[in-house]
Chain A
Amino acid sequence: MKLYLFLQSRVPKPLAVVLTGLWFALLIVLAFFFANEPQAVFRYGNI
């Protein structure tokens, strides 16, 4: 949302929509493509 509001004030609205959409598509791809990476042990003390 912040990204969209930022872009909207600087570029035409349709372009802001497309760029925000592309950004979220990239994040979704990254999240799901690398979701099967072996989990690093989350060792921040014994919490």
Chain B
Amino acid sequence: MDLISFTWLVWIGATTLLFWILPAKLRFGWLLAVTCLFLLTFEPTSLGLLAVLTGTTYFLTKGPRPDGKRVALAIVPVAALLFGYKIFSASQGDDLVTTGVIPLGLSYYTLRCIHYAMERYKGAIRDLGPWDLLGYLFFIPTIFIGPIHRFPEWRRDKSRHRWDSEMFSEGLERILHGYVKVAFFGNFLVSDQFASWSEDATTPGSAQELYLEMIRIGLNLWFQFSGFSDLAIGFARLLGFRVMENFNWPFFQRNISDFWANWHISLTSWSREYVFNPTIAVTRSPAAGALASLIAIALWHEVSVRYLVWGLYHGLGIVVWQKCRPLWGKLPQVANRFGQHALHGLSVLVTAHFVLLGFLLVRQEGFGEIIDALQIFGTGWT
């Protein structure tokens, strides 16, 4: 089912209406029932997997404080399942999202399961019984496309749960913003109008065509993905939950580290907690942490050479930036305001182009096509 549709609006409306009409003790059972009904209707495989993952995660981490072996037993099969699906999907051709090779939402609820198990191991989350874990993992607004919200915040909102008209109004506003971003900006302006204009204005196979394609891909991703995140955040607010933000003007950041702090925030913060920090704890090297973190993010999207290259590209970008940062501070500072603005603009432009080039390269089918695209940029300007 398409999330930009009247059907999904009806699901949001009916879920929210009954949620607030029902007595407080029945509300979370209702949310659980809606998620099960939705998955049963549109994605039964996902319902089965999510039920199994929830069960194993709960039973292996229950008790006062689970030991490392039990937590590893909870995490390894979950991660292996996701990894297996990613390898399988990478071998299935190009039209993967629409054909649904990967069960709906698996990439997201796997990371939530790992988060829960790790936090139980650290002792940051108490064993609150299976219903809280079920409610968290089966939370319908975020189950399909994130954000990868965290259990403590979800539990806090659940315990403080009450009607808040201001939050409800914010929710409606965010849903509207989401629809406008996806339908108007993403689908109409970027994918339709901008694509036709660039097709007419450039020669096929030229660097100009590739450059405009690069901008189109980046803008489309941003509008689509942040629009869908708005829908999820808005839906959660209608139900009285504040879910973490996922995007904060990523293409207007001054360096690659800032870009990753503002693009798919819930994923990058997950990776910081569970990949970057453990890697640093073992290696004492921020560079190794950045590389491991970005490679994990890349392989989470797809286990393939092109995504590995994409992860290395961004990881090395961050490492180079970390190394250059102290030198940057030693350069003579620009005193006048115009110069500062110009420098700021230039930094934003360079960062955006670095990221956009990465998106273009990862869209190529393999390493050979990546080299071809780079060659066109080198020699194909007409």
Residues of chain A whose beta carbon lies under 8 Å from any beta carbon of chain B: 1, 24, 27-28, 30-32, 34-35, 37-47
Looking at the complex, which of B17-25, B56-64, B173-181 is the stretch in contact with chain A?
B173-181
Among candidates A1, A31, A39, A45, residue contacting B166 with C-beta atoms closer than 8 Å: A1
Closest chain-A Cβ to B250's Cβ sits at a distance in Å of 13
- Chain B residues within 8 Å of A39, by CB: 2, 4, 187
What range describes how many residues of B lie at the interface?
35 or more
Please indicate which of the listed interface residues A24, A32, A45 has the most CB atoms of chain B within 10 Å of its own CB: A45
Is there an interface contact between B170 and A1, defined as CB atoms closer than 8 Å? yes
In the bound complex, CA of A43 to CA of B102 (Å): 13
Closest chain-B Cβ to A33's Cβ sits at a distance in Å of 8
Is there an interface contact between A31 and B183, defined as CB atoms closer than 8 Å? yes
Is there an interface contact between A40 and B301, defined as CB atoms closer than 8 Å? no
- Chain A residues within 8 Å of B363, by CB: 43
| Shortest 8 CB-CB contacts between residues of A and residues of B | A45-B301, A31-B179, A40-B191, A37-B187, A46-B89, A34-B183, A47-B107, A30-B184
Extra contacts, 16 of them, besides A24-B176, A40-B187 (Cβ < 8 A), are A1-B169, A27-B176, A28-B176, A31-B183, A34-B183, A34-B184, A37-B192, A38-B187, A40-B191, A40-B220, A41-B98, A44-B221, A44-B301, A45-B301, A46-B86, A46-B302
Name which residue of chain A comes closest to B359, CB basis: A44
Among candidates A27, A37, A44, residue contacting B177 with C-beta atoms closer than 8 Å: A27
In the bound complex, CA of A15 to CA of B329 (Å): 48
Name which residue of chain B comes closest to A43, CB basis: B97
Is there an interface contact between B102 and A27, defined as CB atoms closer than 8 Å? no
Inter-chain residue pair count (beta carbon < 8 A) = 80
- Chain B residues within 8 Å of A31, by CB: 176, 179-180, 183-184
- Chain A residues within 8 Å of B184, by CB: 30-31, 34
Residues of chain B whose beta carbon lies under 8 Å from any beta carbon of chain A: 2, 4-6, 86, 89-90, 95-98, 101-102, 107-108, 145, 166, 169-170, 173, 176-177, 179-180, 183-184, 186-188, 190-192, 220-221, 224-225, 228, 300-302, 307, 362-363
In the bound complex, CA of A30 to CA of B176 (Å): 10
In the bound complex, CA of A43 to CA of B101 (Å): 13
- Chain B residues within 8 Å of A30, by CB: 180, 183-184
In the bound complex, CA of A11 to CA of B191 (Å): 38
- Chain B residues within 8 Å of A40, by CB: 186-187, 190-191, 220, 224
In the bound complex, CA of A21 to CA of B108 (Å): 36
Name which residue of chain A comes closest to B177, CB basis: A27
- Chain B residues within 8 Å of A42, by CB: 97, 224-225, 228
Closest chain-B Cβ to A23's Cβ sits at a distance in Å of 10
In the bound complex, CA of A31 to CA of B185 (Å): 10
- Chain B residues within 8 Å of A35, by CB: 4-6, 179, 183
